[in-house]
Amino acid sequence: MNNAISLPMYAVNPPDVEALWSALRKILLEQGTILQNRELHWPDNLLEHWLQPQLLLSQTCGYPLVTRLPDVQPVGCFHYAAPGCEGISYRSFLVARQKELGAHLADFRQRTAVCNSDDSQSGYNALRKMVEPLSKEGCFFREVIFSGSHRQSLLALQQKEADIAAIDCVTFALLKKHQPQTLTQLKIIGETPLTPGLPLITGPQTSASQLAALRSALHQLVSSPQYQQVCRANLIAGFSDVSRQQYDVIL
C-alpha cells in the first residue's frame, strides 16, 4: 500500500497538524499497520493527491467529495470544538468589513463576493445556495472573485477588494487563535446552514480491514487521555464514521 497521508485542510498552524499526525502514526504502528511512508505529505495539487488509488488517509472538502472524487472511500469526520459546529456538522460565517452598513446577506446585492475556490463547500457552494433565492435573472453579486484560500479572502475584505465572503467556521476559529490580525476590522453578518464537515478519506484500493483499522485508530486518537492535548490544539473534540450518502445534502 502506498500509505500517502496528508491532513491539509486546517493547517493554520502546521506544527499542531504535524503533532496530530505523530499521535495517529503512533497508534497505527502500535496496532500493526505497516506504513511505507511515515511522513506527513503537504501536496501542492490536492485533487491529484486525493485521486491516488493507494491513498491511505487525507482530508477533503465535502463538495469535491460529491463532485470530483467518486472512487474514494469516506473514513469519517472529526467533531470540531469551534463556534458554529455541531457534532460532525459545520457551517460558514458570512464576513464583511465592520464599517459596512449591510447587516444581512440581502444587503450585499450587486456587491463583490470573494471565494476561496469554486470547489469549496464552505467558501463557494454554501454561499451560492444562499443567494439563489435572492437572485434576479440568475444574478445577485456584481462580481465573484477567487482568492485561493479563506485567509486570502479575509485579506481581500480588509483591502477592500471584495465586500463579503463565506468563511469555514473551523478556519475562522483557528485564525482567531493563531492569526487574529486576519480578522481585524471584520464582522460576521450571518451564517450558512449546517452541512457534514470535512471528511477524512482513503483510496479505492484500501481494503475493508485497512479501513476498519483507520477508523479504530481515529476513535482511539480522540478518546485516549494521552492525546487530548494534541486534539484540543487542533480543535478536535471527537470522531464519527461517515458514509458517502451523508454528503448528498451538499448537492
pLDDT of residue 17: 99
pLDDT over threshold 60, residue 52: yes
Cell numbers for 47: 485533487
pLDDT of residue 194: 99
94 Cβ neighbours under 8 A, 6+ residues apart: 105, 127, 130, 164, 165, 166, 188, 189, 190, 191, 192
pLDDT over threshold 70, residue 182: yes
| Residues 187-239: tens digit of each pLDDT | 999 999 999 999 999 999 999 999 999 999 999 999 999 999 999 999 999 99
Beta bridge partners of 146: 115
Cα separation values, 11 from 3, 7, 112, 136, 172, Å? 20, 8, 27, 38, 12
CA distance 15 to 12: 9
pLDDT of residue 37: 84
Mean pLDDT across the chain: 97
Name the band, by pLDDT with cuts 50, 70 and 90, for residue 3: confident
Mean pLDDT throughout 172-193? Answer: 99
**How many CA atoms, within 13 angstroms, populate the side-chain half-sphere of residue 183?**
17
Sign of CA dihedral 70, 58, 25, 230: negative
Using N-to-C axis directions, what is the helix angle for 169-178 and 150-158, rounded to 10°? 70
pLDDT of residue 1: 43
Q: Give me the domains of the chain, ranges plus CATH numbers.
A: 14-79+198-250 (no CATH), 92-193 (3.40.190.10)
Place of cell 434576479: 136
Terminal C-alpha separation, the chain: 32
pLDDT of residue 36: 85
pLDDT over threshold 70, residue 2: no
| Residues 102-143: tens digit of each pLDDT | 999 999 999 999 999 999 999 999 999 999 999 999 999 999
